[in-house]
Amino acid sequence: MTTETTKSIFWQGVRDGAPFVLVIVPFALLFGVVATEAGLNLVETMAFSVLVIAGAAQFTAVELLSKDAPAVIALVSALAVNLRMAMYSASLTPHLGAAPLWQRALAAYLTVDQTYACSILKYQNRPDWTARQKLGYFLAVAVPIVPLWYAFTLVGALVGSAMPAGLALDFAVPITFLAMVGPMLHTRAHLAAAVVSVTAALVFAFLPYNLGLLLAAVLAMMTGARVEVIEARRAARGEGA
């Protein structure tokens, strides 16, 4: 049993989530600007951020709608981008599944890339934590992230087209995901999926409505799953030898 207090674990989570402020602020600002330029009013823009709370999916949907893509394409694309949340949930269940329903619901709402990436790495290093301590850490990571996502979406929506064109806020999108994905590439399956996703996204970039990204995601998941099967078979043969 860990001797750490709930308070100390909470502040660990806040500290681990704090560096993401550097990318969350421009990321949220950019979404607010893009959403209003795409024709969403202030209420619609804020509802999008508060209800969906998934930046990549939000950008995907808004970008496609602004290009007059069919609504079904925008919806399918946003759902495909967010499919990773289902995998995040499955990965977190062994750690948070014993929590009361309302706490699990809150954790589900706050499951974003940053809270997942920080928490799953911490759980691997601290298997002695109780479910309550793990939940406290998870929620704490969201404290410096989620409120700023709301706040700067609002700022971006209010500023709108007045934002200087040379500010280049879009740098936050790739940096955010590189910072989160890089430390999580532990296995051959992870590396294979990453290589295939990047390669396929570049190869199929010519497809309309960002369909190349959907295809790249499917190919990457298939590759990762296949490599895991091959690794498991090799391990089984090694044990049987």
Query: Which tens digits make up the pLDDT trace of 41-68?
Result: 899 899 989 988 887 788 878 877 777 7
Query: Which of 103, 138, 115, 143 shows the shortest CA–CA distance to 55?
Result: 115
Q: Could you read off the pLDDT of 24-41 as tens digits, one per residue?
A: 888 888 888 888 888 888
| Helix, coil or strand: residue 185 | coil
Other Cβ atoms within 10 Å of 180 Cβ, number:
18
Summarised one tens digit per residue, pLDDT across range 72-124 is 887 887 887 787 788 888 889 999 999 999 999 999 999 998 899 899 989 98
And the tokens for 54? 């998934």
Of 104, 105, 85, 108, nearest to 96 by C-alpha is: 104
Model-wide pTM > 0.85 = no
Let me know how long the chain is: 241
For residue 122, what pLDDT is reported? 93
Tens digits of residue pLDDT in 164-187: 655 555 555 566 566 556 655 667
165 φ, ψ (degrees, to nearest 5): -65, -30
What count of Cα atoms within 13 Å lies in the side-chain half-sphere of residue 144? 19
> In 3D, which of 122, 121, 127, 93 has the Cα closest to residue 107?
93
CA angle 200, 232, 218 (to 5 degrees): 20
